[in-house]
Structure 1
Amino acid sequence: MDVRQLRYFIEVAKVKNFTKAAEALHIAQPAVSMAVKKLEQELELSLFNRQDKKVSLTAEGEIFLPHAKRILDDLRAAELEMAELKGLSKGEVRLGIPPMISAYFFPDIIRDFKKSYPQLHLSVLGEGAWRIQKMIGQGELDMGVVAGGNFPETLEVRRFLREEIVICVPPDHPFAQRKSVSLVEFIREPLVFYKEGYYIREFFLEVLKGAGSAPNIVFETNLFSLVKSLVRNGTGISIFLRMVVAADTDLVAVPFDPPLHLDLLIAWKKDTYLSLANRAFVDFLLQHAAEEWRSQAETG
């Protein structure tokens, strides 16, 4: 069994098409077909149904897929460990961050991390928390930021931040003069909200399950900058993490009564080797967050 066969098999299973798999792998399509066919011959099993140019996993293919992924994960972990034993000074951190907090909490962390570890390469992908969890599980990301407590047991997590969720309104809105607003009052208002898959939406809807009524959502988007603009022009009001609206002088942040807080966690795949580069980033992030918390406590 060849490692390339496993990679090709996994890619075809992912995109359900031999031609698209070949394009993603940057090789000729016949090479992918031949490698998968040889793998099937070695296993003496058919891994794919091939009908009318449509490709799907057979029952045997479904069973073999997690084994193939695990083999490649173990191989990558072994390569990382062996490289580090040889004193390799280079490394890569593939990190997923939800767009809302990427622009407000992480720029300074990324800058300072690069200063401390100039030899390490840090790549950041902006995705919703649900998509980040999936990509970590598939090995497309080393780690990422997830929220709250709704994450699979396959992830190892460390909390680095607890942030308040606040109501965001224009200065002329009646809530702007309030010290706090209840959940029931909030959901009666026209709401500009985030699309499914965004952590702040999922968290808030989970909180609302005990409220007894549904929110009045008038518009949905996956662009938090558009949410701000629609709040400014009076389309509706919304919610944000406090850090996201702290510097906006033309918007007013109003706490909930009782206050709502969201835990943000750094997550990676459980029982997977965490490279020195990734461990360095986790340690750096947790230390930075602890120092930030102490600074706020002293000034607060």
Structure 2
Amino acid sequence: MSSFTIRQLEYFVASVEAGSLTGAAKLCQVSHAGIANGLNELERTVGTQLLVRRKAKGVVPTAAGRAMLPLARNMLRDAAGIDLLGQSGQEELTGELVIGCNLALSPVLIPLIASEFADQHPKVHVVFRERPGAEILQLIREGQVDAGLMLQRQMPNDLEYVSICPVRVKVALAISHPLATRTSISLAELAREPAITPDGPALKAMLSVLEEAGVEPDIRWTLSSPETIRAMVSRGLGYSLLNVFPPISDTGGPAVAAVPVNDQLSGNALVMALPPRRRRISTVEKLSEILHGAEVRALLT
């Protein structure tokens, strides 16, 4: 049997994902020479060239390297699972957990996650990266976060994710709006009202929902901040569609009504996206446990 190591497989996968040995060294937090030596030993052990190294142009996998890549990733995941078993008997988790969170989700999820870890595992240093969805995806691909909290409609095909719970689209209305006291609403009822939309990928997602409901929106403003959108809505300047509405008591922000949509729409969900190479799996599993709790589901559905 070949005597390669998990570390060598990690170097190989990191080199392919980063596209260079320098990038792999940064991801793995080792020297360039350490990456190169590990790859040389791996290729010697398996008896074939896995990467073509081009000076100043990075690396590309050979045919053998492309065939080995999914096998190597699976072995790294299995090794991480063994590590989790080894840590399962520990009374308290430690270390750092870096979480990327979509800006629209962060007002609800970050306070909940922070308080849960503070109560249950205070020795875990939880770091949050609040970014728009596209930037969170980039952080995940680069391995700069241990997990990313996103909506399923934002997820590309090349990233793995864990589905947490369904998310029901709601209409944000000023509390003085005639429809604000309804238990549900059809988007067609808002067809002639001004819409306030997010920008970037979130705009595309909102437009797809409206298109699915057969509504062509009258877009008056396109804004980046969910809190700014909420403030505009609270003044009666238009409606918006947001998947997450933090409780007023949690944010102290302007009051809006969140009325569920009763149109038959394609499903959406909160997901936990994972980088190609998982690290600190025990803390990520704990995060998943928190997210699957009843409190998160109650806030999103």
- Please indicate, yes or no, whether the TM-score normalized by the shorter chain is above 0.5: yes
Deviation at 1:70, TM superposition (A): 1.7
Say yes or no: does 1:107 pair with 2:108.
no
The 1-side partners of 2:287 and 2:143 are apart by 18
Q: What CA distance in whole angstroms lies between the structure 2 residues aligned with 1:24 and 1:242?
A: 33
Contact kept? 1:178, 1:254, Cα under 8 Å: no
Alpha-carbon shift at residue 213 of structure 1 (Å): 5.7
After TM superposition, the score normalised by the length of structure 2 is: 0.66
Distance in 1 (alpha carbons) for counterparts of 2:224 and 2:52: 36
Distance 1:27 1:223 in 2: 38
Alignment partner, residue 295 of structure 2:
289
Q: CA deviation at 1:168?
A: 4.7
Matches within 5 A, 1:87-236: 87=90, 89-91=92-94, 94-127=98-131, 145-147=149-151, 155-159=161-165, 165-168=170-173, 176-179=177-180, 182-184=186-188, 186=190, 189=194, 191-196=196-201, 198=202, 202=205, 204-212=206-214, 214-215=216-217, 222-228=224-230
Instruction: Give me the whole-angstrom Cα distance separating, in 1, the residues matched to 2:271 and 2:77.
Output: 20
Which residue of the partner structure matches residue 71 of structure 1? 75
Between the aligned partners of 1:163 and 1:15, the Cα distance in structure 2 is 36
Taking the aligned partners of 1:156 and 1:221, their CA distance within structure 2 comes to 29
Give the distance between the partners of 1:42 and 1:223, measured in 2 at CA: 52
Mapped contact 1:97–1:144 kept (Cα < 8 A): yes
Partner letter of residue 75 of structure 2?
A: I
- Contact 2:101 2:129 survives alignment (8 Å): yes
Instruction: Give the superposition deviation at 1:107.
Output: 1.0
CA 1:233/1:52 → structure 2, altered by over 3 Å: closer, same or farther? farther
SS at match of 1:166: strand
Aligned to 1:57: 61
> Do the aligned residues in 2 keep the contact of 1:195 with 1:220 (CA within 8 Å)?
no
Corresponding position of 1:44: 47
Q: CA deviation at 1:17?
A: 2.0
Cα RMSD of the aligned pairs, angstroms, is 4.7
CA distance in 2, matches of 1:33, 1:253: 58
TM-score by length of 1: 0.66
Distance across 2 between alignment mates of 1:137 and 1:16: 12
Give structure 2 stretches of 5+ with no counterpart.
none
1:117 Cα deviation after fit:
3.1
Deviations 1:110-143 (A, max 9, x none): 2244123334443444356687689779987665
Calculate percent identity across the aligned residue pairs: 19
Counterparts of 1:6 and 1:265, CA distance in 2: 31
Question: Counterpart of 1:207 in structure 2: which amino acid?
Answer: V
